[in-house]
Structure 1
Amino acid sequence: MSLAQNIVVLVALVLAAGFLSLTEIALAAARKIKLKLMAEAGDDRALKVMAIQAQSASFFAASQIGLNAVAILGGILGEAAFRPYFLELLNYVYTGAWAGQISFVLSFVFVTLLFVLFSDLMPKRLAMMAPERFAVAVINPINFFIRLCRPFSYVLNLVANLLFRLFNVNTAREDNITFDDISAVVEAGAKAGVLQQQEQHFIENVFELESRLVSSCMTTRDSVVFIDLSEPEESIRQKIALHPYSKFPVCDGVIDHVIGYVDTRDILALWLSKQSPFQINEASLRTVLIIPDTLKLSELLDKFRASKETFAVVINEYALVIGVITLSDIMVTVMGNWGSPMDESHQILERDDGSWLIDGGTAIEELKRAMGIDQLPEEENYETAAGFMMFMLRKVPKPTDSVEYAGVKFEVVDVDHYRIDQLLVKRVAPD
């Protein structure tokens, strides 16, 4: 063949190899979620792409047959076509015994670079830019090519499957989406400007409801304000005036004997109607939702939805009350400080010197996010900042006790009856 014919054939081979390379990356990188959306929008080609992804062995076998055949043929033709011309150019500077070998190497390198650039690198980079769009665009011709190579693909896959079985390799495609996958997508969206940082935190907090226990955001036992069944009206008025709560548990003598709860709106309605004296009775009591402390926040949301209640009392395995939780507490967990401006607990406050004041009841997830820490030691053993300190100190804490972890110093500032009220947290310079 003439040089022109060789060039035409070589260009055709380069384009064919480039098409197969683009197809291979596009079909492998196409995301199932986006393909489903395209299929729901009426693009049947997306269904064909998902079918190939589910049974990808035939496609990859056909692709490799095509790529290797084209590369070998291109190398043979290219070397034969360009070697004389490289030899002729080389004769201007060198005419020794190695001229033939050098021209062969130059021809080989030229053809190899041609295939690497136009048949491998560029097509694959293009496919990675929009894999779903390219995948649906090439699916019909690639299906024809797969049928064309089916006899060879069958033999290759038969041998490959035997080897995989021999070495006990599982070749099933894993399509499960985890929280880490969603978190990575959300983080990428925030970095790209599609999501605001606050929106990113909202989404991540919603998914944390599945893993966080109710005890991580409840009002703890020592902070619970309850009304005694026989409490006089004046005392009830004082409690409602002093504490910014809308619901109060009602107990018979002690906090562990909860018999219901009252809503301050009901009490206010009675007072406004001048029904005095006010007395706690069955008419003013609401049925309280009792939940175990092993419940997840997502499970509590389901119980709130089913019972039409927004207030629950949390008990431990000994049926002792350890706290109360409301729907507002869960909303604060999701929305941060926007959720309840009246709630001053569980706050993380940054000071002018770069240190932080952290409430002892702050959830571990909030603490890690504020400090930029990925993991704390043995997190399954505690749920709050106070629990972390007690776990690390291995004793009942006292003011000025401190621990250092991941370049951050945690110091106990205030203790109320063995309970850590507040921590001072600051970053320390590495040694």
Structure 2
Amino acid sequence: MSDLLVIALLILISALFAMSEIAIAASRKIKLRVMVDEGSAKAAAVLSLQEQPGAFFAMIQIALNAIAILGGIVGEQALSPYVESIIVMFYQGPLLDQLSFMVSFFLITSLFILFADLLPKRVAMIMPEVVAVRVVSSMRWVSFALTPLVLFFNGLTNLILKLFKVPAEREDIVTTEDIVAMMDAGAEYGSLQKQEYDLIGNVFDLEARFLSSVMSPREQIVYFDINESSNDIARKIIEHPHNHFLVCTGNLDKLIGSVESKDILRQVLKGEAANINENMLSKDIFYLPETLSLSEALNAFKAAVQPFAVVVNEYALVVGIVTVKDLMKGFMGDLISHQGDELIIQRDEHSWLVDGLTPVVELAKVLDIEEFPEQMHYETVAGFLIYSMKRLPKRAEYIQFSGFKFEVVDVEGIRVEQLMVSKILD
């Protein structure tokens, strides 16, 4: 009976070591750091073991192999008499001893596999951080007790790794792909809401998208000529109630400053004519090149503290205007959009009405398209059509891509105003 208790104790100790090995190896650094920030000293100890795992794994293997050998020696002797007493009821031939040994060996091996290996490792894989913080203290004491053996085997392992030019320690670098994989898993299991998932995904797009995807293009800019009449100025403010207006002499490429609409409205409220004078004109215009990514543009706005920026191309020509709100909409998307602002309107289950200025990355998300072809050459859906056709498209013309039909609905001048995107049904 004492031998059976020894076997049970060996299985229990082996299970503890097997569980510790998997739990500490599988614990996620991000979650452990959160636990450390919450004041968990044991989580900090687990992180320390992960940073220098050589000694820990050497100790685990020494302990597991010693227990396995001891279990084999004790187990066969402990179970053989009981097994033999059962077998003898059915068989009493010359192979009785060999048969008892084989059955005893199978039973001991099965017990160790099931209760000392599979079950504890499954538990450790399911909740690695919880198990790791519970066992880390005892594992550190065992490592200290086996220090001579640990130093010997760990040093020998490091020497062999160095001979084969294999890194002795793991370098943990969290890549964008890792974060995206975690986001996908969180969204799949419901721990990450759809809005949160979309928002985080949009943040990663900031570096891949450029100002041209969110700015108001040149033809949509409402501006004042310095010599414009009072009636025209008043009409523009009424029809386009913006906070700021650019002021130029002749055309947009000859900017002289900007003016706030409230200054002009103040004149009107006083009964004066709406005119632009030097006192209200701000000549400090904030320029940004169109080649900036949204991330770079946000940093530029943060440093400049300006409400808007004039976007110029490499020839110093004005191509658009962008505000902080435009940039925020670039990654906040529907969270700050209002009724009437939508660039993509779903008509039915298989068709969408799309503004020509819609960024292709936004449409790709709606249509569940992995990526548009050669996307580095354009930013908008209109740009996609122009690039694909190699010319300016006309009304009712269309192209097909990835199971969708992209048909031009409205063209104003040379600009594609709207498209109808419909799923091609077989």
- Is the TM value for this pair above 0.5? yes
Q: Write the deviation string for residues 21-76 of structure 1: whole angstroms up to 9, x where unpaired.
A: 21112212222233233333333222222211111111111112222222232233
For the pair 1:123 / 2:117, whether they are aligned, the reply is: no
Q: Deviations over 1:160-197 (max 9, x none)?
A: 33333344333443333333333444444444444432
For 1:330, which of 313, 327, 332 is the aligned residue?
327
Alignment of 1:23-422 (within 5 A): 23-92=20-89, 103-285=100-282, 287-341=284-338, 344=341, 347-398=343-394, 399-405=396-402, 407-422=403-418
Q: Is the 8 A contact 1:392 1:403 kept in 2?
A: no
**Distance across 2 between alignment mates of 1:342 and 1:270:** 33
> What residue identity is the alignment partner of 1:381?
H
- Deviates most, 295-304 or 47-56: 295-304
Distance 2:48 2:129 in 1: 14
The Cα shift of 1:91 comes to 4.8
Relative to the length of structure 1, the TM-score reads 0.88
Shift in alpha-carbon separation, 1:165–1:397, aligned structure 2, 3 A: farther
- C-alpha distance in 1, partners of 2:182/2:263? 46
SS of the residue aligned with 2:329?
A: helix
- 2:111 maps to amino acid: L
Work out whether 1:21 is the aligned partner of 2:3: no
Q: C-alpha distance in 2, partners of 1:6/1:410?
A: 78
Unaligned runs of at least 5 residues, structure 2 = none
Unaligned runs of 5+ in 1: none
- 8 Å CA contact 1:266, 1:284 repeated in 2: no
Structure 1 residue 293: Cα displacement: 1.4
Q: Distance in 1 between matches of 2:88 and 2:269?
A: 110
Displacement, 1:332? Answer: 1.8
Q: Is the 8 A contact 1:360 1:384 kept in 2?
A: yes
TM-score (norm 2): 0.88
Aligned-residue CA RMSD (Å): 2.8
How far residue 84 of structure 1 moved from its aligned partner, in angstroms, is 4.4
Q: Report which stretch shifted further, 51-60 or 37-46.
A: 37-46
Question: Structure 2 CA distance, aligned partners of 1:104 and 1:414?
Answer: 87
Describe the SS at the equivalent of 2:421.
Answer: strand
* Aligned-partner SS, 1:200: helix
Q: Per-residue CA shift, 1:365-401, capped at 9, x if unaligned?
A: 2122111223333333332223333344444434422
1:14/1:314 CA distance change after superposition, 3 Å: same
- SS of 1:236's partner is helix
Conserved 8 A contact 1:271-1:278: no
Q: Percent identity over the alignment?
A: 41
1:96 shift after superposition: 6.4
Letter in 2 for 1:378: E
Alpha-carbon deviation of 1:218? 1.0
Given the superposition, is the C-alpha separation of residues 222 and 94 from structure 1 closer, same or farther in structure 2, using an over 3 Å criterion?
farther
Deviations 1:228-275 (A, max 9, x none): 222222112222222353332222212222232223233222322333
CA 1:238–1:40: 2 relative to 1, 3 Å: same
What secondary structure sits across from 1:173 in the alignment?
A: coil
Tell me the CA shift for residue 149 of structure 1: 2.8
Q: For residues 359 and 18 of structure 1, do their structure 2 counterparts lie closer, same or farther at Cα, with a shift above 3 Å needed?
A: same
Structure 1 residue 206, shift from structure 2 partner: 3.3
Work out whether residues 264 and 276 of structure 2, in 8 Å CA contact, stay in contact via their aligned partners in 1.
no
Shift of 1:276: 2.1
CA distance in 1 between counterparts of 2:424 and 2:256 reads: 50
In the alignment, is the contact (CA less than 8 A) between 2:257 and 2:281 conserved in 1?
A: no
Matched to 1:232, the amino acid is S
